[in-house]
Amino acid sequence: MKILVTGGAGFIGSNFIRYWLKENQNDKVVNLDKLTYAGHLSSTKDFSKNKNYKFIKGDICDPKVVKKAMKGVDMVVHFAAESHVDRSIADPKVFITTNVLGTHVLLEEALKVKVKRFHHISTDEVFGTLSLNGKEKFTVDTNYDPRSPYSSSKASSDHLVRAYFHTFGLPITITNCANNYGPFQDPEKFITRMITNIIDGQPIPIYGDGKYVRDWLYVEDHCRAIELAVKKGTPGETYLVGGLTEDVNNLKIANLILKIMGKDSSFIKFVKDRPGHDRRYAIDWSQTKNQLGWSPKHQLEDYLETTIKWYQDNQWWWRPLKATAENFYKSTK
């Protein structure tokens, strides 16, 4: 089988290709990535010489590039997206262009070449926010209620992907995932920014009161869920992919990281809140377990420790990216 992975030089995409090449050693993988601020060839270094792997630098918004990349492809796994909420607040237009129009270009070409599966990676942020002290969780029946330009663009792309199933019969599946963590995540992101700041002896910024709750998913668990969705999932279906956490807020995550790294809470610096900040996300992944036989395996505390060690041992990877990340935050003040 030949697979096109879009955004395969990004955090989740590169981890997925690494996972797929290991678990499906006879398959060929084409990686199409524009190499924006979140895509790095250094993330693909360990598998770049694999005989079954090919990299194409290009934009999913360019039909000619997409046509070349999709030649002879059996399946598309679509990660490529602008994905940082703070950046979407600073510049919404690029999120609409890439996440909506780019997805449309891919869908059109997928129809032409008659792919056997088009799998779209999405986010739990499309569902909006849950009450901070409530017990409810997102399910596949939760109404969409996106609050940021990022989540709105992803919601739009979700609807577009489903429309190509209902209108044109394109065999699609969608996964909406929780916040991921693990190796090769850009130091702009919440957990990796904290880890790399602490390594450098710098404070860790926490938005608002720090009581924002997220569902945390180790990236390898996510990759395994995607594999099951494309192999066993029913065309037209959506599957929610969450972690093993129960209402762990950002301040608790910060203190847990500090504890693992042998530091105290003096590193914490509360900063002005993000506009439109969603209070709580929580995923009910029971439908995914029942239909695909998937459940997360990685406990947060254990794999936070694994993740921290990875960043301590692989400073060659993140140090060249750190200045760009911090300069972005300075530019938004």
d(C-alpha 91, C-alpha 331), whole Å:
12
In the set 59, 82, 150, 227, the catalytic residue is: 150
In the set 59, 124, 158, 278, the catalytic residue is: 124
d(C-alpha 249, C-alpha 212), whole Å:
5
d(C-alpha 69, C-alpha 65), whole Å:
6
Secondary structure (3-state) at 134: coil
In the set 109, 125, 215, 221, the catalytic residue is: 125
d(C-alpha 316, C-alpha 40), whole Å:
13
Cα 291–293–295 angle (5° rounding)? Answer: 115
Residues 231, 30, 236, 141: is their CA dihedral positive or negative? positive
Catalytic site includes residue 23:
no
d(C-alpha 97, C-alpha 78), whole Å:
15
Pairing of strands 28-33, 53-57: parallel
d(C-alpha 162, C-alpha 174), whole Å:
9
Catalytic site includes residue 150:
yes
Catalytic residue set: 124-125, 150
